[in-house]
Chains A and B, each alone.
Chain A
């Protein structure tokens, strides 16, 4: 028995390279489309080319005649199955019955009308071309404000006003605040529709075992367990006969936090044809039929005193829902309302949300989900107020921040901010950028007639979703830790990561707690037959909620190991540290592996203790976490072309304690890229008739390497008291902080021309027109 013990170095906070990478960098990782089953058939979905039409008939005879076509399904085949689910519970919500395939009408371009199944992908596609659908096009409306106007075409004939719901929230006394105000600034601000565009599209393989009456569904999803429950419901099959497996997932960003018609359809079809069936979405389908994000038109009014003290905010929020509710569609704008006070102390908020049906694909959670819209709004409004009062944008923010000694802080929208020191990242970002010097340079540049801008955003976000009260299907997460007889450790996490690196982060946590090498830890996720029920990865919750569940499971496991250690050492009191149990009195110890063997061989057991070393913990967070930060962007606008150059991008994000800085950097960079995409380039464009004009990657401007600035990222670390790890979550920070900082910077650059606000994306054409307009 060893007596000299050197404690291994802690891995919490270390830049450890990822455990998941070897399979990914060698091309041996298996994504959905890499999976093949014996006898597997391929499905192709026939979709509506019209935004609104009646279906007069469908002729499948030519398609059926093609050799290799196994089956064709149309709306009539699935009328009796359940609907695509929506989990929202907003009072009075109008929920159109969302059939798996269109019945007598189509409601958006891309609406699934039929499924063709063939022996290979080419045959399925050929046959899909041969399906003749007789459409009678009807009037469509693609713009939410137009959809609200009197006489607009009704998306769903039963609701001629196109209103799916009204939602009101208020806190404090906004009317009184506005009466007291010296100044009120008002602005209409949009957050355009965006296409999430994971580079791997969606895909499903369904495999039916007739003898067992069991079905295995492989799907590129963020939520395997919820998918299982909900697809079982749609099909009316016992949930325990359905197994969902999530292979390697090539990005999600919220778009795979959903239950889609195709997932239930493939399950149904596999049962019908008694063959495995695969469907992989094309990029065009991904743009037409996978959820979009954002889609806000917001009318803001911000009331303040002359000294810059903000008193209250009014908001009328119009949410473009699209034609149906997907899983969380109506919930997203209510998250925006919650986040409306931002980091500021004002206690008066009055918000009205109207959810509007349009003849477009549904919107739903896309990176940030409601919070970027809110942050963009409040951060633009604060800048407009500063401009109005001729105050420095940093000064007005510092004046209104919740103070560091006011936490936990209750907001006007009913949230309790966990911890924070909001001035800290702002000061740090300003110091790193050299704010004073930048302002002097800006003045000099302006004197030369150049258009240079400095933009700030100080954002807050709601992360680690979340307490179960706030999430329809529960907000907890689960973890199982198994010490195998050989001393190797297996973790089963209900969070289902897809690029976030939790196989590494979680192994770091385990290595620290159990004192085993990281390489001895295997993190398993995404198979409902292996992993206990879980909620999934979204809303910056994987580590904050899933990692915390793991932490508590590890404590249970350690307690049990200590019992074995004490028994083996013949004492009552032992310390567990660095992979050993030590009797402090004698200095004697037993190793991790010795305890593992003892627990499984079970020749002798501690009192009231079962054999084996397995612990499972379901952890319910008592609150959200509230990360915050400051982004500072320097831009220069070319007067002749309207082109925007980002000269500096400085961000300081406080995401609580940091487990792996390398992974955190990656999350920040990726988040900023998506924020920048929204600010400058990306937009899902539907024309008047509801055609998706930005229907392919050629027409949708994703950020490219050559267009991204160098991101100067750093952190302050304010631990969260909500969870034992002190972490807050980082997945969405970059996206939320970015877009207002960029737009504020460009507006600042153009402010000598009298520009006060510009809606995203800030295309050169838009900017050039503003410059030309000022010249005229």
Chain B
């Protein structure tokens, strides 16, 4: 009962036969071979699997792959252009906003959404915007600093 799924990931088109029950995160990792989006829970709590779907940040464990039919996915792998890091990637590096790095791809995608919605957020707004992404390593302070730094420099 496989279905054909056609979608775009980081500007490249993909077409695969998938089971309808396959989660989008499993498609991205197991079928499309990406390593950026991570799995921390599969129950839509941790945010490690966050990607952008048609420009909106979503937790890719909360939907089936077939629901992404015809749509466009952006993952952390698609952020750097011609080897040049995206401002958020650069800021996460500069501000030491990661330790083990496992939450980082999801965190950066959520931060991107946050800044798209609100280009000059207050500290509290940043903290609320990141609420759906868990990090066990950093205590979030350097992540907040990284988002602030990008906002200050004029956005992602």
Contacts and interface: CB of A to CB of B under 8 A. Distances in A.
A663 B95 CA distance: 10
Contact of B126 (A26, A282, A705): A705
Contacts of B123: 710
A672 interface: yes
Contacts of B137: 199, 251, 499, 666, 670
A250 B43 contact: no
Interface string A187-225: 000000000011111000000000000000000000000
A25 B101 contact: yes
Given A25-B89, A34-B35, A706 B131 contact: yes
A28 B77 contact: yes
Interface residues of B, number: 58
A19 to B, nearest CB: 10
A697 interface: yes
A21 B22 CA distance: 31
Contacts of B126: 705
Contacts of A283: 40-43, 46
Contact of A708 (B21, B92, B108, B141): B141
B139 interface: yes
A407 interface: no
Interface string A668-684: 11111110000000000
B96 interface: yes
Contact of A251 (B34, B80, B102, B130): B102
B98 A669 contact: no
B136 A253 contact: yes
A17 B93 contact: yes
Interface residues of A, number: 59
Contacts of B98: 21, 24-25
A29 B93 CA distance: 14
B102 A199 contact: yes
Tell me which of B21, B124, B138, B143 has the highest count of chain A C-beta atoms within 10 A of its own C-beta.
Answer: B138
B25 to A, nearest CB: 11
Contact of A27 (B22, B76, B100, B130): B76
Contacts of A38: none
Interface in A3-55: 17-18, 20-22, 24-31, 33-34
Nearest to B99: A499
Contacts of B108: 25
A690 B81 CA distance: 52
Nearest to B36: A27
Contacts of B46: 199, 283, 697
A208 B109 CA distance: 38
A705 B103 contact: no
Contacts of B139: 666, 668-673, 703, 708, 711, 734
Contact of A706 (B89, B100, B128): B128
A433 B127 CA distance: 24
Interface in A616-669: 662-663, 665-669
B141 A29 contact: no
Contact of B29 (A33, A282, A703): A33
A666 B75 contact: no
Nearest to B105: A27
Contacts of A673: 136, 138-140
Contact of B135 (A199, A253, A711): A199
B144 interface: yes
Given A670-B138, A708-B140, A711-B141, A17 B94 contact: yes
A295 B134 CA distance: 24
Interface in B22-79: 22, 26, 29-30, 34-43, 45-46, 48, 75-77, 79
Given A22-B93, A708-B141, A711-B141, A697 B100 contact: no
B104 A25 contact: yes
Contact of B96 (A33, A663, A702): A663
A25 B138 contact: no
A122 B108 CA distance: 29
A775 interface: no
Contacts of A248: 100-101
Contacts of A20: 101
A21 B19 contact: no
A27 B136 contact: no
A30 B85 CA distance: 19
B141 A669 contact: yes
Contacts of B99: 251, 499-501, 666-667, 670
Contacts of B40: 199-201, 283
A249 interface: yes
A666 B104 CA distance: 14
A705 B140 contact: yes
B50 to A, nearest CB: 12
A594 interface: no
A125 to B, nearest CB: 11
A704 interface: yes
Nearest to B125: A706
A696 interface: yes
A168 B104 CA distance: 45
B134 A27 contact: no
A89 interface: no
A34 B77 CA distance: 14
A698 interface: yes
Nearest to A662: B96
Tell me which of B22, B39, B96 has the highest count of chain A C-beta atoms within 10 A of its own C-beta.
Answer: B96
A200 B142 contact: no
Nearest to A677: B136
A24 B136 contact: no
Contacts of A562: none
A498 interface: yes
A198 B38 contact: no
B154 to A, nearest CB: 20
Contact of A705 (B29, B35, B42, B131): B131
A199 B92 contact: no
Nearest to B80: A26
Given A28-B35, A697-B46, A199 B77 contact: no
A486 B156 CA distance: 40
Nearest to B33: A36
Nearest to B123: A710
25 contacts: A25-B108, A26-B36, A26-B76, A27-B36, A30-B35, A33-B39, A199-B48, A199-B102, A199-B136, A283-B41, A499-B100, A499-B101, A662-B96, A665-B141, A666-B96, A666-B139, A668-B139, A669-B139, A669-B140, A669-B142, A674-B136, A705-B126, A706-B128, A710-B123, A711-B141
Given A122-B19, A248-B101, A251-B100, 15 more contacts: A21-B93, A25-B98, A26-B79, A28-B77, A198-B100, A199-B103, A200-B38, A249-B100, A250-B101, A499-B100, A666-B137, A670-B99, A670-B137, A704-B130, A705-B127
Interface of A: 17-18, 20-22, 24-31, 33-34, 120-122, 197-201, 248-251, 253, 280, 282-283, 498-501, 662-663, 665-674, 696-698, 702-706, 708, 710-711, 734
A-B interface, 7 closest residue pairs, ranked by CB to CB distance from nearest: A27-B36, A250-B102, A24-B101, A669-B139, A499-B100, A673-B139, A499-B99
